[in-house]
Structure formats: structure tokens, C-alpha cells
Amino acid sequence: MKQVAIFVLLSLVSLRCAYAIASDVSFSNVTKHVGIEQPNAWKYGGPVVADVNNNGHYDLVLTNHDQYPAYLYWADGNGQFQQHSTPIAQGDVHGIAAGDYDNDGDLDFLVALGGGNGLQPKPPRLLKNNDGRFTDITEQAGFAHLGARGRSVRWLDLDNDGDLDFIQINAAQVVGETGPRNLLFENIGNDRFKYRANAMFEHIDAERLYVTDFNGDFKPDLLAFSPYTPMTLWQNDGAFSFSDVTTTLLPTHLHKTANVNTITEADFNGDGRQDFYLTRGKALYQIANNAIEHDKEQNVLHLRDEGNKSRDSMKLTTQGPLVLADFYHFPRDRSVEHIPVYLGEHKTPVKTPFDRIEISPTDATGIAKNIEKTGWYISYLSDNQWQITWFLASNVAWDIRASFYNVIDVETPWEPQHQGVNDILLLAGEQGFIDASKRLPSHTLDNNQGAIAGDFDNDGDQDLFVYRFGGLVDRWHDVYLENTGTNFKQTTEHGATILPQRAHGDMGAALDFDGDGKLDILSGDDDNGKWQMFKNTTENENNYLTVEVGYGPNNIDPIGAVVILDLADKTLIQRVGAGSASHSQNLLNLVHFGVSKQSTIKSISVTWRNGKTIQKNNITTNRRITLGTAPRGN
């Protein structure tokens, strides 16, 4: 590892002042205008953004988890998108990755599928792209027999032979599940892949991956992470093997860093080295465990709890009658259509309250005894006091939810869950990474689900856009973090979150979809939210340059290429890859640089993973330049 630039330390007072300054960056919702129409659906860790047909424009794969398919949207080159005629994947879809494994110039897809909680392990599906027609060739590719609880797939050149191999990292195995947990495959040509056993990789305890290069040797290294288990760092030793370098590269206090939802890579301090922003928070299943949110201004209490076999209760004090609403369970046992509600000691059934219903004290007098059936049990005690009991006789749901109105106080026999987890900023240093998280403002302490990096104001510094989970019911504003060079200023006044809505922040991507030189934002809202495209409407006099990284010498595809801009006062560097990742993998080869007021770039170089470099000098800004060529085919 190489040395990182030293930051100027600011006093706590000055940091607070800096954090409070509003940003001039602004966005406008153009989702319908650009042709994106998607249902309210569950997401699974972000979209896939990549130039699938290699025509110089980013296409989009908008992933949906279960009830709705993942769809491909083709870019027409004029800022509009056209939905592909058929879904890319459907049914328990998790991560999707785009890459040109056969070097024919268009991108193919790997799709990770869930394994039915270990009861039906499934292999990843390989969708071969033939001029925009996708064929599932999983069987002939040689890995249809290796099923797992699929989570994240990644294209990468593990043996540096010029073609893309792939890995899949999966959920923990259940009792009785056979075969390796994680899968590693070598590309042996002719649409065939060979399984490569590796004991260390197969036992990595994670569900998500970020592919990077720690030491600049052009061998892909890994950051493996999950909301549930500590993040680990794996250095590529060649020959399809890895070494665990977690304790070597991370500060001691970060050796057991869990609750990582996404990893975002960029040079945040301008020293020419790639740093990492770790977005941290709790996953849906972690949140669904004794979580309450009491809005004392509106007198409303929201509850989430686990859907496993259990019994729990709480006491409420109301001002007036108790009003029930939004009773919901995330289905696990499909035979349970809804969880019934019973009132008082006689267990009088009422319709499960999706809409608001009012319960008077006389309706629910007395405490139910001998509770044996799955349900909510509502009991009026006295003096505006109520007892709420919920009993699950089996594992009926992934979580259960309910809202109670006119509530002025709540008493629980359990400790309510604190949802916030602090994000982490890792800066590259001489011998590893330095924890620079003290430079982050207050909203990075929330329950955050995703983050994307980019120079959204074109001033030459890499900014961040952070997706917040929000409340138990309502979406919150996401946070724009403007990089000032020494710290980050936070604002929620940017226009890139649609409120009010009942959904939660998940993940997105930064891309210049209309080619105007400003990075736009594609966002996915989880928990029955929508996909949204936000156009960057920022007005300033800063300049930009877009570098289209083509195929390098010896027909090497762009993955892993390093782009360096040498400016008059600084050097900018970016690596072609995902940019940020949760479960899916982008391929961002249209590399955007903000260059502030500079009108000429001294030099631009692209070095592909085979070590070959192409350089151009004295380049004017505010345009796109291509380095590399179109692929020659296989």
C-alpha cells in the first residue's frame, strides 16, 4: 500500500459549521420522461448500470426481488430508455452482474437466485448475449449442478489470462445442505467454465462482495461483507487462491466491522489512491426485532418485530380510543393470508386492519387467556391503558408490522432496538487503511443502506450520495455529502428523494444518462418502492471530461482498467468497475471526471489489467474522449 495524503484536522466547532452549509447541487425527477415505468416492488441491493450493447450509452437493469421480474432498459442515445421485450430474470432474484466473458463486444449477465431457505439450492444463471437476444446457457456452461442460496455474483479475471472468470458468494448453508457454500469458476473458453475448489474462499462468511485492487498489481482483490458478519479483506495470490489480509490492512478497532451494507470506492482525498466508504446499517430482518418508533407530535406508534415462532407484548396509553392500522406481515408461510386480530378476554375477531379502525374500551375489555392461535390480541385494561400481545405459533413471516394511533406513551418489557450504525471512511495509507470516519457528518450515523460516489458538482472532488433506510414506515430524505477536500458537508435539500412515500432507501447508481457532462442519479426504493431517475440540474461553470474506456491491446475488456488524468494542480484516478456494490455489479466504463475550471488536460492514460497503456496529451474538456478500441470478437 502507498502513502495517503495527510488531512488538516478541524475543530469540532468548525466541522459542525461546515456540515450545516447547504449544497448548490440539485436534481429533478425525470423518471417518466425518460421512459422508465416500474411497479412498486421489493428491491435487492441496487441496479446494474452498464453499456450492454457497447454503443457508448449506459443501459439499465432494474432488479426486483420476488413478485416482479428484473427488466433491461436500453438507452437510445438521446436520454430515453426502452424496455427490453422480455424480463432478464424473475423469481427470487438477488444479485446480477454484467460482463463480456466471451469477448464478443456485448455484455452477458450472471444472475444469482435464492435457494428457498436452503431447501432448493439453485445455481447462478448465465445469460449469453447474442446481439440483444439473451439465451440461458447455464447447462452447457458446466455449473448447473452446483446450487446454493445465491446472493452476489461477480465477473473478474482471476488468473489474468484476458477473459473473465466469475465468483458467487452465498448465504450460510442450512443443516443438510451439501456442496460448497461459495463458488469460484474459471473461464476455459467456448462458453464453458470449470469449478475451482478453494477452501478459504468457499468458507468466507459474507453475502456481498466488492472487487478492487489493494496493491496495484492488477489482480482482483475482494472485500467480503454483510449486515450480519464482520467484513474481511482478501488478497489475490494467483492460481485462484486468496489470503485473508483483514488484520494486516485494517486498524485493530475495525477487525470485526459488521453491519456493512454497501462499499463505495473513490479517491476521496485526492492523493491518487482509492479509498472506501462503508455504508452501515441494519438489514430488514435485523430491524424486525423489537423495533418501535413513537411520533409524539402525531401520537402514532409504529412497530416491527420478527416473524418467527414467538410471543411478545407491550402496554400503550392513549388519548381517546385506540386506532389500529397497517397491520402487515411479510409472507413466509404462504398458507397464512393474514394474521388475525382478537379483542378482549373473549377474543372477539375483527378484520385485520390494513386501513384504520377504531377500537373502543368496551370492545376490548379484559385480557385473553390460553393464547394458542397465531394472532394479535388487543386488551383494554383501565384508565386509557391497553395491552397489545402478539403470538406466532410457527414461523409465519419474515417480519410483522403494525401502527397504533392516539398513543401518548408506550411501555415495553424489552429494550427497543436502536437502529443507527455509524458509517466508516477508510483512506488508503502506507501499510493499510486509515479510519477517517471523524470527518463524516451526523447523518452518517443513521441506518444507511447504500451509497454512490461521483463528482456531482464537477469541482474535482468525489462526493457521496447516501441512501437512508428511514423510519419504520416512512421514507426519509437521502443525504448528499459534498466533498470539500478536507471534510464532507451534508444536506437533504437536493431534490433526489421523493417524499412523502411509504418505502425505504436501498441503493442506486451515478451515471450521466443524457450526456450533458453532469452525473445523474438512478435510485431504487425498497419495501414496495419504485425506481426513479433524477437529472442533475446543478448550474455552475465547472468543466468535465468523460473517458470512454474501450477494449485494450490484446482485446482486453475494460474491467479493472485504471484511468489517470494529469491536471495542472492535481492527479485524478478512477478504476473501471462497479464503483459501489451491494449484491449486483455495474460495469462503469464511461468514466466521468469533474475538473473544476480547467479547460485543458495535460494527459490522460488508461492502463488495462494486462499492463498495456494508451495515453493522450493536451485534451480539451467538456467532451467525451475514447481510449481503446471496439472489441474484435472471439
For the chain, helix, strand, coil in percent to 5 are 5, 45, 50
Same-domain pairing of 114 and 255: yes
Same-domain pairing of 308 and 404: yes
Name the domain boundary from 489, 513, 536. 536
Computed over every residue of the chain, the mean pLDDT equals 93
Same-domain pairing of 572 and 622: yes
* 601 found inside a domain: yes
Same-domain pairing of 278 and 290: no
Predicted confidence band of residue 23 (pLDDT cuts 50, 70, 90): low
Q: What is the pLDDT of residue 118?
A: 61
Mean pLDDT confidence for 595-619: 97
Alpha carbons 28 and 516: distance in angstroms, whole number? 14
Judge whether residue 135 has pLDDT over 90: yes
* 20 found inside a domain: no
Q: What is the pLDDT of residue 21?
A: 47
Quick check: 7 and 439 in contact, CB under 8 A?
A: yes
Judge whether residue 464 has pLDDT over 60: yes
Residues listed for the chain: 634
- CATH code of the domain in which 134 resides: 2.130.10.10
pLDDT per residue as tens digits for the range 335-364: 999 999 999 999 999 999 999 999 999 999
Predicted confidence band of residue 148 (pLDDT cuts 50, 70, 90): confident
* 455 found inside a domain: yes
Same-domain pairing of 106 and 188: yes
Same-domain pairing of 373 and 423: no
pLDDT per residue as tens digits for the range 267-321: 999 999 999 999 999 998 899 899 999 999 999 999 999 999 999 999 999 999 9
The C-alpha cell at 64 is: 426486483
Q: What is the pLDDT of residue 447?
A: 96
* 19 found inside a domain: no
Judge whether residue 479 has pLDDT over 90: yes
Same-domain pairing of 310 and 360: yes
Least reliable range by pLDDT among 108-117, 123-132, 139-148, 180-189: 108-117
* 554 found inside a domain: yes
Per DSSP (E only), the strands in 205-361 are 208-212, 221-225, 232-238, 241-244, 260-266, 275-280, 291-295, 300-306, 310-331, 341-343, 348-350, 357-359
Domain around 437 = 27-282+419-536
Residue with cell 465547472: 542
Name the domain boundary from 385, 411, 437. 411
pLDDT per residue as tens digits for the range 248-268: 999 999 999 999 999 999 999
Mean pLDDT confidence for 97-114: 96
The string of DSSP codes covering 308-327 is: SSEEEEEEEEEEEEEEEEEE
Mean pLDDT confidence for 122-137: 96
Mean pLDDT confidence for 398-422: 96
Judge whether residue 2 has pLDDT over 50: no
- Residue 526 pairs in a beta bridge with 504
pLDDT per residue as tens digits for the range 502-523: 999 999 999 999 999 999 999 9
- The number of CA neighbours under 13 Å toward the Cβ of 20 is 6
Quick check: 457 and 24 in contact, CB under 8 A?
A: yes
Predicted confidence band of residue 376 (pLDDT cuts 50, 70, 90): very high
Q: What is the pLDDT of residue 634?
A: 52
Same-domain pairing of 209 and 250: yes
Quick check: 109 and 62 in contact, CB under 8 A?
A: no
Least reliable range by pLDDT among 69-78, 116-125, 405-414, 622-631: 116-125
Per DSSP (E only), the strands in 114-201 are 125-130, 133-136, 150-156, 165-170, 183-189, 192-195
Same-domain pairing of 361 and 449: no
Tell me how many domains the chain contains. 3
Mean pLDDT confidence for 477-490: 96
Q: What is the pLDDT of residue 9?
A: 27
The C-alpha cell at 88 is: 432478464
* 555 found inside a domain: yes
Least reliable range by pLDDT among 176-180, 297-301, 407-411: 176-180
Same-domain pairing of 369 and 300: yes
pLDDT per residue as tens digits for the range 550-580: 999 999 999 999 999 999 989 999 999 999 9
Q: What is the pLDDT of residue 20?
A: 41
Name the domain boundary from 515, 536, 557. 536
The reported pTM is: 0.93
Same-domain pairing of 169 and 237: yes
Q: What is the pLDDT of residue 16?
A: 33
Same-domain pairing of 436 and 377: no
pLDDT per residue as tens digits for the range 37-92: 999 998 988 999 999 999 999 999 999 887 889 999 999 999 999 999 999 887 78
Alpha carbons 406 and 323: distance in angstroms, whole number? 7
Q: What is the pLDDT of residue 10?
A: 29
Q: What is the pLDDT of residue 178?
A: 77
Alpha carbons 315 and 380: distance in angstroms, whole number? 10
* 62 found inside a domain: yes
Quick check: 94 and 151 in contact, CB under 8 A?
A: yes
Residue with cell 477508510: 426
Alpha carbons 603 and 388: distance in angstroms, whole number? 68
* 144 found inside a domain: yes
* Three-state DSSP class for residue 17: helix
- CATH code of the domain in which 561 resides: 2.60.40
